[in-house]
Homo-oligomer: A and B are copies of this chain.
Amino acid sequence: MSTQLTTRRILLQSAMSVGALGALAQSITAADPVAKKIQVKDGAVILFQGDSITDAGRNIGAAEPNAEKALGYGYAMLAAGKLLRAYPQQKPLIFNRGISGHKVPDLAERWEKDTIALKPDILSILIGVNDLWHTFAFGSKYKGTVADYESGLRALLESTLKALPTVQIVLCEPFTTRTSDEFKPLAEYRAVVQKIAQEKSFLLVPFQAAFDEAIKVAPASFWAPDGIHPSPAGHDLMAEVWRKAVGI
C-alpha cells in the first residue's frame, strides 16, 4: 500500500466512529506495507545466486524449484516461502544456486549453466564477502581487488541483460558484523553494489544497515555467530529485509 493510500485511509477514519477504529487499525496493520516493486507473472522463475549465505546447506543435487532441500536453510528459502505465499496464483518457480565459498569469478565460471540457462524473470544476487575475505584468509590465495570485483560483477550483469533483456535484477549488499580492520574494505565492495544498483535502477537490498541496527539490540554473535554466516535469527532478518526491498 502506498503512503498516499495509507494517508487517505487514515484521513478517512476521522469521519468514522471511535468503535470502528480498531477494525481500521487492523486493516492498516494487515495491509501490504510497501508498494510492490517486482512483477511476478504466472510461472515466473525466481533465482537466488550467491555464496554460502545463499547456499545455506541446500542439497546441491536437488535441482528442482520450490523444494525445501533445494532451497537450503537460509534467507533464500525463507524468502521463497514469502514469495510463494504472496503469489499463490502465479505459482513462481524458485531456485537457489548459491554455492559456498564463491566469489564473482566463481559465479562467472558457472553463470551460463546456473543462471542464464534457468532463464530467470527475477534474479537476486548476493556476492562479495569472499571476494574480500579470501584475499587475507584461507591461505590468502585470491588476489582480486575491489576493481576486479566491480568489473567482474558488471560483466556478469551485462551478459545477463544481453541474454535476458527483461530480467528483473535484485542486488544484495555484501555484509559482515566483523569490525576488524581486515573487513573494513567491505564497505568499498558494498559501494560498488550500491553504485551499480543506482545506475541501472536495480532493486538494492540493504543488508548491512539491517545488521548494523540489529547489533544494537543483541550481540553480533546472535545474528551471525562467525560474523559472516547468519544464525536463524539473522536469516529471518535477511528474508524480511529482502521482502521489503522487493516490495512483497
User: Which A residues contact B (CB, under 8 angstroms)?
Assistant: 3, 6-7, 10-11, 13-14, 18, 21-22, 24-26, 28-31, 33, 56-57, 66-69, 71, 73-74, 77-78, 80-82, 84-85, 88-89, 91, 94, 214, 217-218, 222, 231-233, 235-237, 239-240
Cβ–Cβ contact B217 & A88, under 8 A: yes
Q: Could you write out 16 A-B pairs with CB less than 8 Å apart?
A: A6-B22, A6-B29, A10-B13, A28-B28, A29-B33, A57-B68, A66-B231, A66-B233, A71-B73, A81-B232, A84-B232, A85-B236, A85-B237, A88-B217, A88-B218, A89-B217
Q: What separation, in Å, do the CA atoms of A10 and B19 have in the docked complex? A: 12
The 5 A-B pairs at the shortest CB distance, nearest first, are namely A81-B236, A88-B218, A84-B233, A68-B73, A6-B25
Cβ–Cβ contact A232 & B77, under 8 A: yes
Task: Tell me the smallest distance from the CB of A234 to a CB of chain B, in Å.
Answer: 9
Q: What separation, in Å, do the CA atoms of A13 and B11 have in the docked complex? A: 9
Q: What separation, in Å, do the CA atoms of A163 and B213 have in the docked complex? A: 40
Task: Name the CB-closest residue of B to A30.
Answer: B33
The residue from B21, B66, B81, B240 contacting A10, defined by CB atoms under 8 A apart: B21
Task: Name the CB-closest residue of B to A80.
Answer: B232
Q: What separation, in Å, do the CA atoms of A160 and B80 have in the docked complex? A: 36
Cβ–Cβ contact A89 & B218, under 8 A: yes
Cβ–Cβ contact B81 & A233, under 8 A: yes
Q: What separation, in Å, do the CA atoms of A71 and B77 have in the docked complex? A: 14
Given A25-B7, A222-B91, are A232 and B71 also a contact pair (CB < 8 Å)?
yes
Task: Tell me the smallest distance from the CB of A64 to a CB of chain B, in Å.
Answer: 12
Cβ of A30: which chain B residues have Cβ within 8 Å of it?
33
| Given A84-B233, A88-B214, A94-B232: 17 more A-B contacts, CB < 8 Å | A3-B22, A6-B22, A10-B21, A10-B25, A28-B29, A29-B31, A67-B232, A68-B232, A71-B73, A73-B73, A81-B232, A84-B222, A84-B232, A85-B233, A85-B236, A85-B240, A89-B217
Given A7-B21, A30-B33, are A233 and B73 also a contact pair (CB < 8 Å)?
no
Task: Tell me the smallest distance from the CB of A44 to a CB of chain B, in Å.
Answer: 14
Q: What separation, in Å, do the CA atoms of A214 and B22 have in the docked complex? A: 24
Cβ of A14: which chain B residues have Cβ within 8 Å of it?
14
Task: Name the CB-closest residue of B to A94.
Answer: B232
Task: Name the CB-closest residue of B to A16.
Answer: B10
